[in-house]
Amino acid sequence: MTSATDSDDRPGLAVTTTALAVIVFLQVPVIVVMLAAFSTTSYLTIPPQGLTLAWFGKVLSDPSYLSAIRMSLILACGSTVISLVLGVAAAYALFRKSMPGSEAITSFLMAPLILPAVVIGVALLQYFSLTGLRVVITVPYIVRSALASLSGLDLAVEEAARVLGATGFEAFRLVTLPLIRPGLVAGALFAFITSLDNVPVTIFLIGANQTTLPVLIFSSVEMGIDPSVAAVSTLLIVATGIVLLIAERRAGFHRFV
């Protein structure tokens, strides 16, 4: 028998219907792009005129697309690793209140999440050109997820490890880091996807002889849309979905997003 409390906790039919309608509305553009990738015509048509995988073969055999994919993966992986190192260190220091003005520093680190990407790209163009540091837009995701994980951590566990003979670094590596791993996985995924998919900042920072996949797609759309753009977009959507599914199964990061 269902109790009154359980019945009250369930969402009503109107709420459920509205939520489903919003989800479908948000997914329609994704579905349209994926359907267009299978069209046999040389232009985008919805619904597709026939079904073919030729456009996927064209993307995977095109040197410009392969070079852009390689560059995007290199930059995304590199920025994610650097962001993890810097973000975890910053979050741990802020959590332990080991520096004055920690709240102001936290707000400062979160600023790239608030400011428009174009503003960040213009404002930091000269700075990035001099230092080569290009992880300012990905570090906040690591800091935010790491702080969320650390907020639920009992410091007594780490202190117990140090009492038993572990050094500060050993206690952090063997005790704290495994406990906050789901949050770090979530932050790393957001950092990776943001770096991989970013266009406004990348346009300002990328070299003249380099291009990333999002920039190449953006340029291709300007010159004319054909199903190859939809095909490479579909590959990105599918790859992202697979990575998110594996990460969720392995780390259960949904609690931090």
15 part of a folded domain: no
Own/partner contacts of 5-14, CB < 8 Å, gap of 24 or more, are none
Cβ proximity of 66 and 60 under 8 Å = yes
257 residues of the chain, pLDDT tens digit each: 445 445 555 667 788 888 888 888 888 888 888 887 887 777 777 777 777 788 888 888 888 888 888 888 888 888 888 888 888 888 888 787 766 666 777 666 666 666 666 666 666 666 665 555 555 567 777 888 888 888 777 778 878 888 888 787 888 888 888 888 888 888 888 888 888 777 777 766 666 677 778 778 777 776 667 778 888 888 888 888 887 787 777 666 555 55
> Which amino acid, one-letter code, is at 190?
F
Tokens of 244: 């998110």
> Which amino acid, one-letter code, is at 196?
L
The CA–CA distances, whole Å, from 3 to 7, 14, 15 equal 6, 21, 21
43 part of a folded domain: no
pLDDT at 1: 47
70 part of a folded domain: yes
Q: How far apart are CA 145 and CA 210, in angstroms?
A: 31
pLDDT at 84: 86
35 part of a folded domain: no
Cβ proximity of 143 and 112 under 8 Å = no
146 part of a folded domain: yes
Q: How far apart are CA 214 and CA 199, in angstroms?
A: 6
Per the structure, the complete domain to which residue 225 belongs is given by 55-256
80 part of a folded domain: yes
pLDDT at 114: 67
The CA–CA distances, whole Å, from 239 to 66, 234, 243, 249 equal 15, 8, 6, 16
pLDDT at 129: 56
Give how far the C-alpha of residue 253 lies from the chain's centroid of Cα atoms, to the nearest Å. Answer: 13
Burial class (CB in 10 A: 0-12, 13-18, 19+), 84: buried
11 part of a folded domain: no
> Which amino acid, one-letter code, is at 148?
A
Cβ proximity of 106 and 94 under 8 Å = yes
Q: How far apart are CA 106 and CA 123, in angstroms?
A: 20
pLDDT at 16: 83
pTM score over 0.85: no
Tokens of 236: 């990105």
Percent of residues in the chain assigned helix, strand, coil, to nearest 5? 75, 0, 25
209 part of a folded domain: yes
Can you give the CATH number for the domain in which 223 is found?
A: 1.10.3720.10
Total domains present in the chain: 1
Closest CA to 161 of 170, 151, 149: 170
Q: How far apart are CA 80 and CA 166, in angstroms?
A: 29
Q: How far apart are CA 161 and CA 117, in angstroms?
A: 43
Q: How far apart are CA 34 and CA 36, in angstroms?
A: 5
Length of the chain: 257
